[in-house]
Structure 1
Amino acid sequence: MSPLAPAPKRLRPLRVLALSGASLLVLTATAAAQQATPPRRGTANPPAEASVQLSEISVETQGNGGGTVAGGGAGVGAAARAVESPTGPVNGFVATRSATATKTNTPLIETPQSITVVGREQIDVQKAQTLTQATQYAAGIYSGTFGADSRLDFFTLRGFVASDYGLYRDGLQQLNYGFAYFRTETFGLERIEVLRGPAAVLFGAGTPGGLVNQVSKRPPLDPLRYVEVGGGAFGQGGFGYAAFDLGGPSDADGHWFYRLTGFGRTGGNQVEGAPEDRVYIAPAFTYKPDGATKITFLSSFQHDNAAVTANFLPYSGTVRPNASGLRIPRSLNVGDIGLNTFSRNQALVGYEFEHAFDETWTFRQNLRYSFLESFQNSYVGQLGYSDAAETRLARYQFRDSARANLFQVDNQAEARFFDGFFRHDLLLGLDYKNYRLSDNQASTFPGPDISILAPVYGLRVAAPLPYLINGNSFEQLGLYAQDQIKLTDRLSLVLGLRQDFADNRIGNKLNPSASGGRSDNALTYRTALIYNFDFGLAPYMSYSTSFQPQIGTALSGAGFRPETGDQIEGGVKFEPPGQGYFLTLAGFDINRQGTLVPDPANVFFQLQSGAQRSTGFEAQLNVSLAEGLNAVASFTTYDLVTTKDADPARVGRTPVNIPETFASAFFDYTIPVGAWRGFGFGGGVRYVGSSFADVPNTLRVSDFVLFDAQVHYNFENWRIAVNATNLADRRYVSSCQSALSCFYGDARRVTASLSYKW
C-alpha cells in the first residue's frame, strides 16, 4: 500500500450472536469495502471500531488444556478463525500477535523487539505448574535461579534480575519487594509473554533486561467445560492436584460471558517434610452492551501453604565434595520439620474497559487492586559449616511478616489514522501506581546447627528479635506517547516517549530518625525501525532507555537513586506465510547504571554500586505444523561484566548467580490419522552453562544438561498424559549467590494426569 493511498473504507462493527450454545460471527461491510482489494498480509491492523470484536475471535486449537477454546461457530470461515487475539489462545506453539511490546494489537512480525509467547497449549503439553517451569524453553530468560523454591519465581533476563520489578500480569505490575512475593498459579493463565529489552517507555518500570507479562484466562465466546486431575512424585514427596475451567455465554443475547477457573494442589516436594499446598480460584466475566464497548472483570484468590526449600547451602558439599568427601543430600530440610513455614494469601480484583468511539479513536482503561500477606519462619543455612569435618551446618532463624497493597490504573487513548502521507497508530497514555508495604523482619544469630548425616530436629535457641520494622510507600505517575508509523507499506517506524514522577518513602519504626525517602523524575524514549518483506523476513533495529525507581533504603537509611539503562538491539524475524514456524534472531548491547549488590556488612541489605554491561545474542524458533508436530528451540549467550563499582574487586568480573550461555529444544508430536490417531509423545533437552559463586570469579558452578519427556493419548473428549522432567534425576546446582549460598535445582518430577473436556 502506497503511503499516498487513501485510508481504507470503514467496516461496520462485527456482530457476535449466541445461537444454540455456539457463536455465529456475521461480518457485514459496505459494498465498497467488499470490493476493496484485501490488504497485504501484515501491513495494517483492523479498524479501531472493529478492534473490540476482533480481539474476541478465538483460535481453534488441538491442545488439551483448560485454556484451549474451540472457536468459530457455524458459518465462520477459516480466515476469520485464524485471527488471533493478543490476549487469547495461541494456535499450537506459534503466536502471531501480542499487546505486550506496544500495548496495541500488533503482529509479532511487525514488532521491532525480541519477544517469546508461551501459549496455553505449550504450558499444558509440558505440564508446567510454575512460571519457572513454563519459561525454561524461552530465549533470554534464566528461570529458577534459586533452584527448587516453593515461595517464588526468580528469573533473570539478558543477565539482569527481573523478577522484582519486571513481573507483570495483564499489563500491570506485580511488584515484588522484600519478602512480599506475588506468585500466580499457571493454570489461571492463557499465555506468558517474555519481552526482552527495556520497556520503560510504556510500563515505567522494569530492568533493561526486559519483563514477563502473564496473561489471565478470559471469558470465552463458546461454552467451555474442562476438568483435570493428576498427581505424581517429586523427589521425597508425592503430590496430587485437581483443576477445573468453566466458561461461555451466560445469556441468549450474547452480551454476558463468564469464566470460573480453579486449581488445588496438596503434597510435598524434594525437601523432606516440606509441604507445598495451594488453592486458586479465579472468577471472570465480560459484558458487551454493543459492538463497540466491552468490559471484562478479572479477579483471583490464592492461598499457599509451603516451606523454605531454597536451602542456602555451601559451595563445598554441593558443587564440590566437602572436606569429608560428602555432598549434602538434596532432600535435607535445612530448616526444621517443625519450624519451616511459608504461607501466603493474595487477592487481585480489577477490570479492563474498552470503547471504540469511531474508526479512529479507542479508549481503554485497565485497573487492578492487589493485596498480599505472607509469613515466613524458618532456620536458614547461609553460614557455612560449624565443624572442620564439614558435616554440620551452622544456621540462623529468620522470621518475616509482610503485607502489601498495590493499586494501579492505566488509561490509554489509541488513534489510527492516515495523515495524507503516512499511516499512524498513535497511543497516548497516563498510568498511576500506589504501593504500600508493611514489613517486619526478625532473626536469631546463631541458631542450632544441624548434621547433614543424621539431622535432629526440634532444637530451639531463642525467639527472633526484630531488626527491621518498616512502612514503605511508593507512588509513580507516568505520561507516555507512542506512534507506530507506516512510512511505506513495508517500512515501519516506532517512536516512544515517557515522563515519570516517582516518590519513595520509608517509615522506620525501630529507628524513626532513619526514616526518609526521595522523589525522582525521568524522561525515557524509544525509537525503532522494522522492514517487512512479502516473503516473511523482517529485519529491525531499535534504541531504548529505561528508568526504574528503587524502593527501600540501604543499611544507613539513605534512599537509593533510580536505576537507569539503555540498549541497542538489532535482529531479524522470519515468518514465511503459511509455513507454520516463526524464527527470531537478536543481538543486543545493554548498559545498566545504579545496580544494587549485596551489602557485605549485612546479608539483609543492599548497596547501590556501579554499572554493568551485557552484550549478547539470542535465537528463538517456534514450530506448529498441521501434521501434528509442535516444537520450540532457543539459544542465548551473552557477556555480562561489571564495568564500574565502588568495590574494585567487582570491576571486570561477571556477577554471581548468572549463567551466560543456555540452550534448549522441545518437541511434541501427536499422530493425526490411522489406528494410532491421538497417541502422542515428545521430549526436550535443556543446557545451562557455568556461572560463578564468588565476586573474584574463582569459584565456578558447573554447567548441566537436563532431559524431559512425555507421552499422551487423546480419545474422544478424554486425555491421559505422563510427563517427566529431569528424566535422569540429575543432581545439579542451579546457581550460587556466594560460597555459602548455593541452591539445588529441581529433582526428577513425574506427573500423571487425566482430563475431560466437553
Structure 2
Amino acid sequence: MNITSIPSETQAEENVKMLAPIIVQAEGADESTYVAKTSRAATKTATSLLETPQAISVVTKTELEARNVQSVGEAVRYNSGVLGDYWGGADLRYDKTLIRGFDAAQYLNGLKLSEGHFAGLGRPEPYGLQRVEVLKGPSSVLYGQNAPGGLVNLVSKKPTAETIREINVSLGSSDRRQGSFDFGGAIDAEGEFQYRLVGLARDSATQTDYGKNNRQYIAPSFSWEPSSDTKFTILGSYLREDLGNQVNVLPPIGTLTHAPFGRIPTSFYTGEPSFDKFIRTSKSIGYEFQHRFDDVWTFRQNFRHDRQDADYRYVSYSGAPLVGTTMRRKRSFVDQNVSSFAVDNQAEAEFSIGRVDHDVMIGLDYRYIDSSFRFGTAAASSLDVANPVYGTLVQVPPTTRSEQTDQHQAGLYIQDQMRLDKWAFTLSGRYDMVDSSTSNRLKNTVVDQDDEKFTWRAGLVYLADNGLAPYASYSTSFEPTPGSDFGGTAFEPTTGEQYEIGVKYQPIGFDSFVTLSAYDLTQKNVTTSDPDNPGFDVQTGETRVRGIELEGVAVLNDSLSLKASYTYMDGKVTESNDYEGNVPAQIPHHVASLWVDYAFADGPLEGLGIGAGVRYVDERFGDMANKMELPSITLVDATLRYDLEKLAPELEGVNFRVNASNLFDKTYVGQCASTRYCQYGARRTVTASIGYKW
C-alpha cells in the first residue's frame, strides 16, 4: 500500500483478511518436508530465508521426527557451522552447541532460556519442539547480550485448529523405556479456542554404570483467537530430570592414550551410587499476544517466567595422575536456583513509500535474572580403576562458594526491512543496558557491574529471477564479562563483529534450498592473564574465526530427501598474554555431514522408509593451550520406519520405527577440557518405538 493512497474502510478490512492467512502460512506451511522457507530467528518477522542477509539453518518438524532426535545437540548435528553436543553427547547435563567456534545460547520462542552455572544449563525436551532454528553470526541487535557465534532458537509445539492425536511407546539401549503423547486441536466448532498437550516420561540407564537418564515432561498450552487479527496463547511446561552422576570425567591416560593397564572402559563409573544424585526441575509459564490493528500496524508481546532448580551431589575423579591403577577422587555438591522474567514488545509497521516497501519493527525488551548458587568440594576416598569397589560412606562437603546474582537487561531496538524491486536491504540498531550485582555470601562482599552498548547490523540481498540471492552483511554483538582487573576496574563487555558474504539458492518450482556463506568473525576485549599481576586478568585478548559454510537440503521427489553440509573453520587467538597464535578450543578445520531419507511409495515395500547419515569432525584441540589434541571422528546414524497400514488396513495410523545413533559403535573421546580431564563420547544407542496417530 502506498501511504499517499488511503483505502476505504471496506478495502482495508479485506486487505487485513487477506494478509493474516499469508503470515500464518509462511510460518507453518514449510514443516511438511525437510525444506524450510521462512524463519523469525534473524528478524523477528516472518521473513523468507532467501531475503535474510545472514546464514540460517532450520530443522523442521519432519526432520526432527524422521531422525527421532533426543537432544537439541542431536537436532543440529547435520547443519553447517554448528557442532551440536560437541562434548560427545554422553554428558547429559548440557546441550552444548558451538556455532562458528563460540558457545551458543538457547532461546525458546524468541526469549532466552535461563542459564546458571554448570548444573544450570538445561536440556530442553525435543519432543515438545516444532522446529529448531540456528542463527549464525552476531545476534545482539535484536536479542541483546550474546556470544558472537550465533544462537539456537527453539520453537515449541503450540495449539492448532488441526486435530492432533498421537501416542508413542519406545524401548532402547541402556534399558530405556519411554512413553509420550501429543494431543491438540480446536475446542469449539469455530476454532476460536484451541489447545495442545504434550507429555513424555522416560526411565533409562546410560552407557556408564549406575548412570540415569530419567525425565518427566508435560507442556500444556491454550490459544484464544477471536478474529484473524488477534491471538492470545498461554504456554506452560514442566520438566524433571533425574540424572544420577554425570561428572564422569576421566584421565587422558587410559582414554585418549593407552595406559599400562590398557584403556578405561566407557562404562567405568567414578562416583559412589549411594551418594550421587542429580535432580533438576525446569518450570515455565508465559504467553504470546498478537493484534493487527490495520493493514499497517501489528503489535506483539511475548512473556515468559522460567524457574530452574538443581540439587546435585557427586563423587568424581580429582584430576591427579593415576598411581598405578589407583584414582584419587573428590566429593562435591551443587545447590542452584535460577529464576527469570522476560518480556519482548514489538510494534511492526508494513507500508510503502514510493517504490520502496518497508517492514519496520520497533521493540523494547526486558529480562530479569535471579540466581542463587552454592558449591562445595573436598577430598574423597580413592578407587581402583582395574577393580572398582563401591559403597564407601560419603559426607556432603562444606560450602566453599556461595553467591547470589541479580541481573537486569533492557534493550530498545529498531529494524527496517526495505524492498525495492529485486533488492532487499535490512538495517537494524539496538541500545542495551545491563546491570548486575553479585553477592559473595561467604565473604560478605558485593560486586556491581553496569554495562551499556550499542549494536547494529546492515545487510543487502539481490533476488534474481532464477532463485539465486547473493547477499552481504555486517553485524555486531556484545556480552558482559564478569569480574575486574587488578585495580578493581570492572571489565568491559566482550564485543564481536562479523563480515559475511554468500549466496542462497531456491530453485523455482523445486523444493530445495542451498546456502553458501563466507565470514570473518572477531571477538575483542577477551580476558587474558595480567603479566604484571599474577592471578589477575586484563582485557587485551582477541579471537578471530574465518570460515566457509555450504549447506543444502532438498526433496528430490516424493520418495527421496537429502541434507548435506560442509564447514571450514580457521580459528586463531590473535591477541593474548597466554595463547597467542593458538587455535581456540573445540574448533576443527573441517566438518561434513550427509543425511539421506528414502520412502518406498509403491511395490511390495510400500510404507517402508529408510534413512542414513554420516558425520565427520576433523581433529581439534580440547584446550586453549593446544596440548590435548582430539583425533578426527566419523560416525554413522540410521533409521528405519514402517507404516503398518500397508500391512493391514485395520492398522491405519500405526507406525513402527527404529533409530540408531553411532550405528557402528565407535569408541571415541568426546572432549578433553584440559590436560587432566577427558570424557568419552556417546556409544551406539538404538531405540525402537511404535506410535499411533488418529
The answer to whether structure 1 residue 497 and structure 2 residue 438 are counterparts is no
Give the counterpart letter for 2:402 in structure 1: I
Relative distance call for 1:696 and 1:283 in structure 2 (3 A) is closer
Structure 2 counterparts to residues 3-82 of structure 1, below 5 A: 50=18, 52-56=20-24
1:395 Cα deviation after fit = 1.8
Number of the residue aligned with 2:139: 199
Cα displacement (A) at 1:249? 0.3
For residues 11 and 589 of structure 1, the distance between their equivalents in structure 2, rounded to whole angstroms, comes to 50
Alpha-carbon offset, residue 461 of structure 1: 5.8
Q: 2:631 aligns with which of 686, 699, 702?
A: 702
Per the TM alignment, residue 497 of structure 1 is displaced from its structure 2 partner at its CA by: 0.4
Q: Partner residue of 1:424?
A: 358
Aligned to 2:172: 232
Preserved CA contact (<8 Å) 1:49 1:362: no
Asked if structure 1 preserves the Cα contact closer than 8 Å seen for 2:288 and 2:300, the reply is: yes
Q: Which residue of 2 aligns with 1:270?
A: 207
Structure 1 length-normalised TM: 0.86
How does 1:353-432 map onto structure 2 within 5 Å?
Answer: 353-387=289-323, 389=324, 391-432=325-366
Structure 1 residue 197, shift from structure 2 partner: 0.3
Moved more, 353-362 or 248-257: 248-257
Q: Distance in 2 between matches of 1:596 and 1:746?
A: 33
In 1, Cα distance between the equivalents of 2:391 and 2:484?
36
Aligned equivalents of 2:375, 2:125: Cα separation in 1: 27
Partner of 2:559: 628
SS in 1 for 2:580: coil
**Residues 646 and 469 (structure 1), Cα distance of their counterparts in 2 relative to 1, 3 Å cut:** same
Residue of structure 1 in register with 2:52 after alignment: 111
Structure 1 pair 184–609 and aligned structure 2 pair: CA distance change class (3 A):
farther
Structure 2 residues without counterparts, runs of 5 or longer: 646-651
Say whether residues 1:158 and 2:100 are aligned partners.
yes
From the superposition, tell whether residues 7 and 441 of structure 1 become closer, same or farther in structure 2 (CA, over 3 Å).
farther
Q: Which residue of 2 aligns with 1:42?
A: none
- Cα offset, 1:544, TM superposition: 0.6
Find the residue that maps to 1:465 and give its secondary structure.
Answer: coil
Which residue identity lines up with residue 136 of structure 1 in the other structure? R
Deviation at 1:274, TM superposition (A): 0.9
1:7 CA displacement:
7.8
- Name structure 1 gaps, 5 residues minimum: 15-27, 30-46, 57-82
- Structure-to-structure mapping, 1:644-723, within 5 angstroms: 644-647=575-578, 650-714=579-643, 715=645, 716-723=652-659
Shift in Å, 1:661 = 2.0
Q: Distance in 2 between matches of 1:103 and 1:199?
A: 11
The separation in 2 between residues aligned to 1:443 and 1:556, in whole angstroms, is 30
**Contact 2:530-2:577 within 8 A present in 1 as well:** no
In 2: Cα distance, 1:10 partner to 1:306 partner = 62
Task: Tell me the distance in 2 between the aligned counterparts of 1:599 and 1:345.
Answer: 40
Sort the Cα spacing of 1:694 and 1:420 in 2 relative to 1 into closer, same or farther, 3 A. closer
Residue 398 of structure 2 corresponds to residue 469 of structure 1: no
Task: Give 1:666's aligned amino acid.
Answer: W
Deviation at 1:593, TM superposition (A): 1.7
* Conserved? CA contact 1:506–1:552, under 8 Å: no
Distance (whole Å) between structure 2 residues aligned to residue 111 and residue 422 of structure 1: 17
Residues 619/743 of structure 1: CA separation in 2 closer, same or farther (3 Å cut) = same
Does residue 537 (structure 1) correspond to residue 440 (structure 2)? The answer is: no
Contact 2:116 2:338 in 1 (8 A): no
Give the 5 Å matches for 1:77-92.
83-85=25-27, 90-92=31-33
Hey, what does 1:482 align to over in structure 2? 415
After TM superposition, give the deviation of residue 631 of structure 1 in Å: 1.4
| Number of equivalent positions | 682
In structure 2, what is the Cα distance between the partners aligned to 1:116 and 1:727?
25
3-state SS of 1:122 partner: helix
| 1:619 aligns to 2:550 (yes or no) | yes
In structure 2, what is the equivalent of residue 457 of structure 1?
Answer: 390
Structure 2 CA distance for partners of 1:8 and 1:593, relative to 1, 3 Å? farther
Would the aligned equivalents of 2:93 and 2:122 in 1 still touch at CA under 8 Å? Answer: no
Do the aligned residues in 1 keep the contact of 2:598 with 2:610 (CA within 8 Å)?
Answer: yes
Q: What secondary structure does 2:272 align onto? A: coil
CA distance in 1, matches of 2:109, 2:124: 12
The match for 2:454 is 523
Q: Distance in 2 between matches of 1:674 and 1:253?
A: 41
2:231 to 287, 294, 304: 294
Q: Deviations over 1:109-141 (max 9, x none)?
A: 111110111011111111111111111111111
**1:728 equivalent in alignment to 2:664:** yes
Structure 1 residue 211: deviation in Å?
Answer: 0.1
**Corresponding position of 1:568:** 499
- Whichever residue aligns with residue 644 of structure 1, its letter is E
Q: Tell me if the contact between 2:2 and 2:351 (Cα under 8 Å) persists in the aligned partners.
A: no
Q: Cα offset for 1:694?
A: 4.2
CA distance in 1, matches of 2:199, 2:577: 50
TM-score (norm 2): 0.94
- CA distance in 1: counterparts of 2:426 and 2:4, whole angstroms: 21
What is the rounded CA distance, in whole Å, between the counterparts of 2:564 and 2:302 in structure 1? 34
Is 1:589 matched with 2:589? no
Could you say what the CA RMSD is over the residues aligned between the two structures, in angstroms? 2.6
* Aligned counterparts of 2:84 and 2:42: Cα–Cα separation in 1: 21
Distance 1:180 1:556, change over 3 A: farther
Question: After alignment, is 607-616 or 131-140 more displaced?
Answer: 607-616
